[in-house]
A and B are shown apart, each in its own frame.
Chain A
Amino acid sequence: MIGLGHFLVLGALLFCIGLYGALTKRNAVAVLMSIELMLNAVNINLVAFSRYLTPDYIAGQVFAVFTIIVAAAEVAVGLAIVIAIYRDRLSVELDDFDWLKW
């Protein structure tokens, strides 16, 4: 029987994979994708908590919907800035962005 614990472990794993990717990838687009994984891990958590702990109170699911929307806005802005810097440096590798001391 699949229970809350399974979903939380899935969420935690996805979050860790995302965090690992966000910290180790050198490509800005790949980092943004890793961050998306982290946000989706949060969504899994929220929906699982909502379904198993508070079935009559859907705040967790509402929270997940808001997270999805905000994540879309965040990525849209992120990709726009990636394009802006690509036009300038002809690169999206984070190692190349060293004009400001990192």
Chain B
Amino acid sequence: MNIDYSLLTIEMLTAGLALGLLVLSLVVPGDQRKGFGYLTAAGLAIIFAISFAFNGVNKEIIGGMYLIDDFGNFFKQLALVAGVLVALASIPYVEKLESYRGEYYSLLVFATLGMVVMVGAGDLISLYLGLELMTITFFVLTAFKRGDSKSAEAGIKYVLLGAMSSAILLYGLSMLYGVAKTTVISELVSTIQAGQISPALILGLMFLVGGFGFKISAVPFHMWSPDVYEGAPTPVTSYLAVGSKAAAFAAFVRIFMGGMPQIQEIWIALFAGLSALSMIIGNLIAIPQTNIKRMLAFSGVAQAGYILTGMVAGTNAGIKGLAFYLMIYVFATIGAFTVAIGFSNATGSDEIKDMAGLSQRNPLMAAVMLVCLLSMAGIPPLAGFAGKLFLFSAIVAQGKLWLALVGLIMSMVSVYYYLSVAKSMYMGEAADPSPIEIPGSLKLVLIVSMVVTIFLGIYPAPLTGLAEAAASVFALK
């Protein structure tokens, strides 16, 4: 079998970067490893730039096990750009580590590689491998802070629940293989017939939705996320929040929209329930949270609910909205978490009440937090508004007005807790009014997230073009 390896350039470069960092961290003496963060960010940025050469390439390799297409490429770019921002945001955190600085960045790149493989997978086996590469790396990263009890506790909770969810997902995949007699996703279309729905298939689908639902932290599989988000090092949390979620959504689209559009009515009902539950419960539990990371965790649960509406639509417009929303969610979430990184780096606190008066102590941080939170709430003219517009109009077009209404009402609820953070930052009196200094790398991440969030809100055309190309891979309505 002839394999055109040039199609795998992004994957090979990412793997090379990860391995290179691992070797470098052995060779370079401990006190000279300051540049690793910038090296990682630069490497990922170069791979990100190269990935644009693959826009418009639609090929499959190794007999359909791996796909190079616009959909995969969109999500690869998402993983890479999130990787660049997280690598930069990690720099002040890694400087405080006593050891294993190089390994941290290497693991970060391996997590990116896992996402890249997962979104390009055209076969259940390669999908599973990518998923586990990402998840196992995140287990290590979550527990990375040695000697920190919270980090270790978050790590063990994530390992046990994550491994359990993987086992459930695998059981679903094995049932799917038994029913379809193939592991290639594109062949599922012809082997699963709409007329013959067996109980084994239903069981398999439910287990699949449960396993991936854990990764996107949709209710009722969200219980791990607040604890893990709070205990994990904050840069890792931000990557976990965006990367793991985006990759699992990409897998959802690949398997369900790409492999089983003929039995749509079954899985759409599942997703509609998950979506409504996540929007309602996520937003309501976010209200009483006092820790910024826990608040963002529950807001992430609610965001997963909004994004799931794209799956409920079951159309190309739904995929477009889903892809668009995930990309802007990357910038809004990493921006908000980076403010939390800068704040806890300077003051050692993650509590919302300690952020009182932040607008006087560091106007940039307060502004970025405000923009990111308002974008998540969907206030125009920020990017989140455009994203929600695409998603909700896609489900309204399918006659699911009730779900769009739930989404709109819960978005209004979310404005309350987002604005209470803003109120604390802008109206509150700081207990200690001394200005907060943040390192240059964090400033860069903050400015990039804010500019992108505002720019894509006013002029979303560049990203909608990419999202439309990604959605056009699937031949749906």
Contact = CB atoms under 8 A, between A and B. Distances in A.
Interface of A: 8, 11, 15, 18-19, 22, 28, 31-32, 35, 38-39, 41-42, 45-46, 49, 53-54, 57, 59-60, 62-63, 66-67, 70, 73-75, 77-78, 81-82, 84-85, 88-89, 94, 97, 99-102
Contacts, number: 129
Interface in B128-183: 128-129, 132, 136, 139-140, 143, 146-147, 149-150, 152-157, 159-160, 163-164, 166-168, 170-171, 173-175, 177-178, 181-183
Contacts of B170: 39, 42, 67
A67 B408 CA distance: 42
Q: Which of B124, B153, B230 has the most CB of A within 10 A?
A: B153
A28 B160 CA distance: 8
**In the complex, the 10 A-B pairs of residues with the closest C-beta atoms, listed nearest first:** A38-B167, A45-B174, A49-B178, A100-B227, A85-B152, A42-B170, A59-B183, A78-B159, A70-B132, A81-B155
Interface string B223-243: 000110011000000000000
B51 to A, nearest CB: 26
Nearest to A70: B132
B125 interface: yes
A36 B266 CA distance: 31
A66 to B, nearest CB: 6
A15 B159 CA distance: 19
A63 B226 CA distance: 33
B185 to A, nearest CB: 12
A38 B149 CA distance: 29
Secondary structure of the B contact surface, majority rule: helix
Contacts of B159: 74, 77-78, 81
B226 A85 contact: no
A66 B139 contact: no
B174 A42 contact: yes
B interface, size bucket: 35 or more
Interface string B353-376: 000000000000000000000000
Interface in B68-82: none
A8 B177 CA distance: 13
Nearest to B162: A74
Contacts of B171: 15, 38, 41-42, 45
B164 to A, nearest CB: 5
B164 A35 contact: yes
A89 B251 CA distance: 38
B132 A73 contact: yes
A39 B143 CA distance: 23
B167 A39 contact: yes
A18 B170 CA distance: 14
A28 B156 contact: yes
A30 to B, nearest CB: 10
B85 to A, nearest CB: 25
A26 to B, nearest CB: 11
A76 to B, nearest CB: 9
Contacts of A62: 125
A3 B396 CA distance: 48
14 contacts: A18-B167, A38-B167, A42-B167, A42-B171, A45-B171, A54-B182, A57-B182, A66-B128, A70-B128, A70-B129, A70-B132, A78-B139, A81-B152, A81-B155
Nearest to B174: A45
A11 B152 CA distance: 33
A82 B157 CA distance: 10
A18 B163 CA distance: 12
B155 A85 contact: yes
Contacts of A59: 125, 177, 182-183
A5 to B, nearest CB: 11
A62 B403 CA distance: 41
Contacts of A99: 149-150, 153, 231
